[in-house]
Amino acid sequence: MTMRYRNYIGGEWVDAHSGATFEDINPANEELLGLIARSDAQDADAAVEAAAKAYPAWRLTPAPKRGEILFRVGQFLLERKEELARLLTREMGKVLPEARGDVQEAIDMAFYIAGEGRRLLGYTAPVELPNKFGMAVRDSVGVAAIITPWNFPIAIPSWKIFPALIAGNTVVFKPASDTPMLAAEFVKIFEEAGLPAGVLNLVTGPGGEAGEALLHHPLVKIVSFTGSTEAGTHVAVEAAKTLKRVSLEMGGKNAVIVLDDANLDLAVEAILWSAFGTTGQRCTACSRLIVQQGIQPRLTEALVERTRALRLGDGLLPTTDVGPVINRRALEKIHAYVQIGQQEGARLLCGGDIYRDSGQGFYYLPTLFDRVQPDMRIAQEEIFGPVLSIIAVKDLSQAVEVNNRVAYGLSSSIFTQDVNAAFRAMRDLTTGIVYVNHGTTGAEIQFPFGGTRGTGNGHREAGQTALDIFTEWKAIYVDYSGRLQRAQIDTGAFGETSVSGQAG
């Protein structure tokens, strides 16, 4: 029987007002998994209104109590980890061990952020006048619209929903149309954990309709978006019209640098994992290998051999190394880029075609190019699939320059045993995340996550910095002198003496 999934608005599971649905397909075999509510602006508006109605009471719920609910969510996620991971693989395609990692990240985030219920730290500082106290506290912002992609269908929503809720905001969650079932299962867990009605709402349906409406609704105060740079730029422009706070996590064109002195075996393992893990569909996936000329022949030879040996298939099978890509559109886009690479003069070393042996599903052969010039399109644009371009350089300076000269700035990595080279790279690589002797993927939730240039707009998710996205700073002064003490520049006015030049 085909599963039917509804929106969750004001604590009720409801069909789209039109009754329309869309199909959710397993990319491994094109099996129909479920029929999903196809929402439009009217459904999105209803969800925003439910979130706005729930906001005053949630805002005043003590943060430690909010944290207790999120802690329960974490426990339920842990209990259901395997079931969620299997659904994740069926809906999105990544191999089961990676799907477990995706769910684990949500568990980690739940427990980490639940603890913030007893912190949400502000600060005090000395003040200029006697008998006066000053403090800075975090306040909630209001209704947050959370718009997410399909490639980490539970981890990325968790990076946004947990910090939004702990800070006292209410949420409207619009997941990617390729992964709505996992989103609904995630929301059900909040319901089971006792989250009050209206605090978290789910609206499924096309970004251009349900998502677009969230960008314009005056009651939405924050938009937290992860997805392509193209859609994210549109989100920023539209949300600016009503002065919403906008946090964007977007595309990447990440590189591993390998210097001549690197540990070759370690580099090979890390490059394979970074380039072809999640079928190259991680925002932090390595799509450029910047290699010093001395080690290049040996590294290339080892990579070709190992890449050819990767086994494609359904991510539920233990024999599968690389699962399908998300949908037919992605398959066609990846193949178009491979053809562009060949036309540009890059040399195809292996892969380079759609894999058809499975009969059904969306599989692309892991692909390696060498003789890639840094300004070729395959070295500049996000392909978001299992395609790695090898770029030869003469030294570290050139490697850093090539790494930084792209429109994105999420993650970079260097393999070297020279501590001086490692520190120069840490200083000079202009990405939000830098790894030394590790691939480009594998961020941990207690550190800031995000990127520079076309990857973001200055915010960082996860870690303590996630709280900055979802809180307003409020400065509070308490004067307990019992008389008017001025801290302003208007000395002498009204017969009082000022102590400072503080304005405002």
> Which residues carry out catalysis?
249, 283
Residues near 107 by Cβ (< 8 Å), separated by ≥ 6?
A: 74, 77, 78, 81
Sheet of strand 132-139: strand arrangement: 123-124, 132-139, 472-479
Q: To the nearest whole angstrom, how small is the minimum distance from the Cβ of residue 382 to ligand NAP? A: 5
CB-hemisphere CA count at 13 Å for 438?
11
Q: Which one of 95, 113, 182, 250 is in contact with ligand NAP (CB under 6 A)?
A: 250
Q: To the nearest whole angstrom, how small is the minimum distance from the Cβ of residue 177 to ligand NAP? A: 3
452: how many CB neighbours lie within 10 A of its CB? 15
Nearer to ligand NAP, 67 or 232 (CB): 232
384 binds ligand NAP (CB under 6 A): yes
Contact yes or no for 483/131 (Cβ under 8 A): no
φ, ψ for residue 411, nearest 5 deg: -135, 145
- Binding residues for ligand NAP, rule CB under 6 A, total 33
φ, ψ for residue 37, nearest 5 deg: -60, 125
DSSP 8-class letter at 93? -
What one-letter code names the amino acid at 281?
Q
Residues near 483 by Cβ (< 8 Å), separated by ≥ 6?
A: none
Contact yes or no for 138/122 (Cβ under 8 A): yes
From residue 146 to residue 185, the character string flagging contacts with ligand NAP as x (rule: CB under 6 A) and all else as - is -xxxxxx---x-----------------xxxx--------
Q: To the nearest whole angstrom, how small is the minimum distance from the Cβ of residue 215 to ligand NAP? A: 6
Q: Which one of 46, 183, 410, 466 is in contact with ligand NAP (CB under 6 A)?
A: 410
- Nearest CA to 12 among 211, 214, 203, 210? 203
24 binds ligand NAP (CB under 6 A): no
From residue 208 to residue 247, the character string flagging contacts with ligand NAP as x (rule: CB under 6 A) and all else as - is x--xx--x----------xxx--x--xx------------
Q: Which of residues 424-453 bind ligand NAP (CB under 6 A)?
A: 451
Nearer to ligand NAP, 227 or 361 (CB): 227
Q: To the nearest whole angstrom, how small is the minimum distance from the Cβ of residue 294 to ligand NAP? A: 32
Q: To the nearest whole angstrom, how small is the minimum distance from the Cβ of residue 101 to ligand NAP? A: 14
Contact yes or no for 92/151 (Cβ under 8 A): yes
Report the distance separating Cα 14 and Cα 59, nearest Å.
Answer: 25
Nearer to ligand NAP, 227 or 315 (CB): 227
Q: Which one of 206, 233, 428, 498 is in contact with ligand NAP (CB under 6 A)?
A: 206
Q: Which of residues 43-102 bind ligand NAP (CB under 6 A)?
A: none
Q: To the nearest whole angstrom, how small is the minimum distance from the Cβ of residue 223 to ligand NAP? A: 8
Q: Which of residues 448-477 bind ligand NAP (CB under 6 A)?
A: 451, 455
Nearer to ligand NAP, 147 or 258 (CB): 147
Residue nearest to ligand NAP (CB): 207
What one-letter code names the amino acid at 149?
P
From residue 119 to residue 148, the character string flagging contacts with ligand NAP as x (rule: CB under 6 A) and all else as - is ----------------------------xx
From residue 274 to residue 293, the character string flagging contacts with ligand NAP as x (rule: CB under 6 A) and all else as - is ---------x----------
Q: To the nearest whole angstrom, how small is the minimum distance from the Cβ of residue 271 to ligand NAP? A: 19
CB-hemisphere CA count at 13 Å for 436?
14
344: how many CB neighbours lie within 10 A of its CB? 16
Query: Tokens standing for 122?
Result: 């502000």
Contact yes or no for 418/259 (Cβ under 8 A): yes
Query: Tokens standing for 129?
Result: 């006048």
Residues near 498 by Cβ (< 8 Å), separated by ≥ 6?
A: 486, 487, 488, 489, 490, 491
Nearer to ligand NAP, 22 or 71 (CB): 22
φ, ψ for residue 363, nearest 5 deg: -115, 140
Nearer to ligand NAP, 267 or 462 (CB): 462
Interface contacts to ligand NAP, rule CB under 6 A: 147-152, 156, 174-177, 206-208, 211-212, 215, 226-228, 231, 234-235, 249-252, 283, 382, 384, 410, 451, 455
